[in-house]
Every structure is written in C-alpha cells, then in structure tokens.
C-alpha cells in the first residue's frame, strides 16, 4: 500500500489515480479534513483510504502505520513556507524541515521499499547550460524564490539521509504542471490563465507573472495527468538506477503554441499576448532520458490534447 502525502491535492489526486490504475492500493494523508472525491468512490474503503495527520507531528504520522501496511511513500505535500506571510520565518523553516524528517522516520520504521520526494524545475534557476537540462548539472547555491530554495535544501538532506539510513529515496524534479485541479493564477507560467480565460470568454490576466508573458516565451509544460503517471511509474518500477529524475514533457512549449491550441477550439478566444520575448524570461525545459529509460514513460498529452482536456473539464463546471 502506497502512502501519498497531499494525496488529495493537485498533483496528488492525479498520482493517486495513476497508482490505482496500476493496481496499487493507496492511503492519502491530509492535514485538514477532506472528503473523498466522487471519482474515487469505487475504490474508497477497499483500495483507497484517507487519513488525517499533520506531518510535523511525528506520532500522528507514524500511527498510520499501525492501521495500514505501508510499503511505499510518495511525499507530495507542501513542505515549503509559502505563500509569503503564512508563517513567521523560523516557524516556516522548522515546519518544512520537520515534515521531511518525519517522513524519513516513517520510511525507516515501516521499512518501505521506496520513498519518493517532490522537488521542482525551479532548482535549475541560475543554471546557464543551453538546451534540455539534465539531472547531473551542478546547481548554484542560490535561489530566486522560497520554493526552489527549500527544495534544494530538501534534496541535499534527502541525499544524506538516504545514504546514512539505507532508505531508497528518489527525488522528482517536477516541471511546470497544468490541468484539472490546478491553482490559478500562476506566478511562474501563463498556460493556466490562458485556458481559464478562454473557458470564461474573458481576457487573460497575466499580471501575476514574474516573467515570461510574451508569445515566444516558453517552459517545459507537463500536463498533470502525465505528471501523475510518471510519478506512479517511478514508484512501482522494479529497479531505478538514479536518485533524481526530471518529471516533465521533455520539450519546450511556448505561450504561442498554447494560444494556437486554444484558438483551434475557441476561435474567438481573447488570448492576445505581446509579441516576441520577455527580456526577463528564460526558456527552460528538461531532459527526461532517465525517466524514459527506467520506467518506459512517454507523455500522452501534447499541447492540443492537453488544452482540449483542460477546457472540457472547466466547461463541465469545474472552475477551480
């Protein structure tokens, strides 16, 4: 049985679905009370369970192991002191580190086969290499934002603990993820805002973007259903040869490509963007050779199929 922290969140929900489709049973851990989504009704109570626990509370997490036989952990719950002002700085940092340590304690005590840990494409910020970025590139000891800063800290701690404790820990460097259940607006890329605006017949508001709001700006966009499936495949793979994997589409998708896909379905969509490139932006996409070779993963959603699926979900009344 696979325990998924944040299992009813954005990426967590799709990872849960993918693991269930692969024949696994799952325990979803949430800090706040949560109802089982209707999409999981058939498996609820048989192959799927929800447990409430605060990851900073060691005992409440470890007690789950008394009720379920946990064989693997996928740690997706937010472990970064974000958004700004949510925590006093020391309290936020302590919560982040304590959550990670408690997950490692659980992995040790339950003797799980594999512990998966979510990181981010943001850890590559400041890397000057051209083309698709691979996992072995040296990362600068700086970060432009709290999320990549704490994910770098987590990667270093996880590498140390995995070796010292004999736990197989695998880090997922997750690309720009979009699709159903995703939060919008995003401060990092434009695609969610563009699709939501098209579904509403509105002008997209890109005022929250830090950079990258021009037609030719791009990033590695990975549809959330592909992301969840990639994480599931990494969790169940018989053997993994590396400790770090890029979870991504493996290609650059520009805002212009997203707009073209939207207008193929919504011809009158008001998705006009400034031409050219944002001087403050930088195209980033990831090499997924490791992921392909060790799991057989291939993205199922190109830009057109992803936009169509996302629009259909929104038009069905899911305006989150």
Q: Domain for residue 40, yes or no?
A: yes
Is a pLDDT exceeding 70 seen at residue 126? yes
| Mean pLDDT score of the chain | 93
Q: Domain for residue 74, yes or no?
A: yes
- Give the pLDDT band of residue 85 (cuts 50, 70, 90): low
Is a pLDDT exceeding 60 seen at residue 235? yes
Q: Domain for residue 91, yes or no?
A: yes
For residue 194 the two structure tokens come to: 């563009």
Other residues' Cβ atoms within 10 Å of the Cβ of residue 63: 12
CATH number for the domain spanning 133: value is 3.40.50.720
Is a pLDDT exceeding 80 seen at residue 65? yes
Same-domain pairing of 123 and 236: yes
Contact 273, 214 (CB under 8 A): yes
Q: Domain for residue 295, yes or no?
A: no
Three-class SS of the chain: CEEEECCCCHHHHHHHHHHHHCCCCEEEEECCCCCCCHHHCCCECCCEEEEECCCCCHHHHHCHHHHCCCCEEEECCCCCCCCCCCCCHHHHHHHHHHHHHHHHHHHHHHCCCEEEEEEEHHHHCCCCCCCCECCCCCCCCCCCCHHHHHHHHHHHHHHHHHHHHCCCEEEEEECEEECCCCCCCCCCCCHHHHHHHHHHCCCCCCCCCCCCCCCCCEECEEEHHHHHHHHHHHHHCCCCCCCEEEECCCCCEEHHHHHHHHHHHCCCCCCCCCCCCCCCCCCECECCHHHHHHHCCCCCCCHHHHHHHHHHHHHCCCCC
Q: Domain for residue 320, yes or no?
A: no
Domain membership of residue 56 as a residue range: 2-176+221-247
Same-domain pairing of 110 and 234: yes
Other residues' Cβ atoms within 10 Å of the Cβ of residue 89: 9
Which residues are CB-contacts of 12 (< 8 A; sequence separation ≥ 6)?
A: 4, 5, 6, 28, 74, 76, 77
Short-list 216, 155, 219, 215, CA closest to 187: 219
The arithmetic mean of pLDDT across residues 156-168, rounded, is 96
pLDDT of residue 81: 60
Residue bearing the bigger pLDDT, 264 or 281:
264
Same-domain pairing of 185 and 155: no
Q: Domain for residue 292, yes or no?
A: no
CA end-to-end span of the chain = 30
Looking at the chain, the whole-number percentage of residues with pLDDT higher than 70 is 97
Same-domain pairing of 6 and 23: yes
The total number of structural domains in the chain stands at 2
Short-list 79, 73, 32, CA closest to 51: 32
pLDDT of residue 83: 62
The arithmetic mean of pLDDT across residues 53-63, rounded, is 95
Other residues' Cβ atoms within 10 Å of the Cβ of residue 168: 14
State the pTM of this model: 0.96
Residue bearing the bigger pLDDT, 309 or 31:
309
Is a pLDDT exceeding 90 seen at residue 184? no
Same-domain pairing of 107 and 209: no
Same-domain pairing of 49 and 75: yes
Q: Domain for residue 293, yes or no?
A: no
Same-domain pairing of 124 and 191: no
Same-domain pairing of 212 and 229: no
Same-domain pairing of 215 and 282: yes
Is a pLDDT exceeding 70 seen at residue 199? yes
Short-list 286, 280, 254, CA closest to 124: 286
Contact 254, 285 (CB under 8 A): no
Same-domain pairing of 172 and 199: no
**In whole angstroms, how far apart are CA 129 and each of 134, 137, 140, 175, 241?**
10, 8, 12, 17, 24
Read off the pLDDT of residues 9-44 as tens digits, 9 standing for 90 and up. Answer: 999 999 999 999 999 999 999 988 777 888 898 999
Rounded Cα–Cα distance for residues 229 and 121 (Å): 18
The count of residues in the chain is: 320
Half-sphere exposure of 282 (CA within 13 A, CB side): 13
Same-domain pairing of 203 and 149: no
Same-domain pairing of 141 and 164: yes
Is a pLDDT exceeding 60 seen at residue 320? no
Rounded Cα–Cα distance for residues 296 and 318 (Å): 32
Q: Domain for residue 291, yes or no?
A: no
């Amino acid at each position: 049985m696979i325990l998924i922290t944040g299992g009813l969140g954005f990426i967590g929900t799709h990872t849960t679905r993918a693991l269930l489709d692969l024949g696994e049973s799952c325990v979803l851990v949430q800090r706040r009370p949560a109802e089982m989504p209707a999409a999981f009704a058939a498996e609820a109570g048989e192959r799927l369970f929800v447990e409430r626990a605060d990851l900073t509370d060691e005992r409440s997490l470890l007690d789950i192991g008394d009720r379920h036989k946990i064989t693997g952990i996928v740690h997706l719950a937010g472990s970064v002191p974000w958004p700004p002002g949510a925590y006093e700085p020391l309290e936020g940092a302590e919560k982040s580190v304590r959550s990670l340590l408690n997950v490692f304690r659980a992995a040790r005590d339950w003797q799980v086969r594999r512990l998966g840990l979510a990181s981010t494409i943001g850890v590559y910020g400041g890397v000057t290499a051209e083309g698709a970025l691979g996992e072995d590139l040296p990362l600068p000891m700086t970060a432009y934002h709290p999320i990549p800063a704490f994910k770098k800290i987590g990667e270093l701690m996880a590498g140390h603990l995995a070796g010292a404790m004999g736990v197989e820990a695998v880090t997922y460097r997750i690309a720009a993820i979009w699709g159903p259940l995703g939060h919008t607006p995003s401060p990092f890329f434009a695609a969610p805002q563009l699709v939501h605006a098209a579904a509403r017949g509105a002008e997209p508001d890109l005022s929250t973007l830090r950079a990258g709001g021009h037609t030719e700006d791009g990033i590695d966009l990975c549809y959330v259903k592909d992301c969840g499936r990639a994480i599931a495949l990494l969790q169940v793979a018989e053997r993994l040869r590396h400790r770090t994997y890029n979870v991504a589409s493996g290609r650059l998708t520009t805002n212009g490509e997203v707009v073209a896909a939207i207008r193929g379905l919504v011809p009158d969509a008001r998705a006009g963007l400034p031409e050219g490139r944002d001087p403050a932006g930088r195209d980033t996409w990831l090499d997924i050779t490791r992921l392909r070779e060790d799991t057989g993963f291939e993205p199922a959603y190109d830009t057109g199929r992803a936009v169509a699926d996302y629009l259909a979900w929104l038009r069905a009344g899911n305006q989150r």
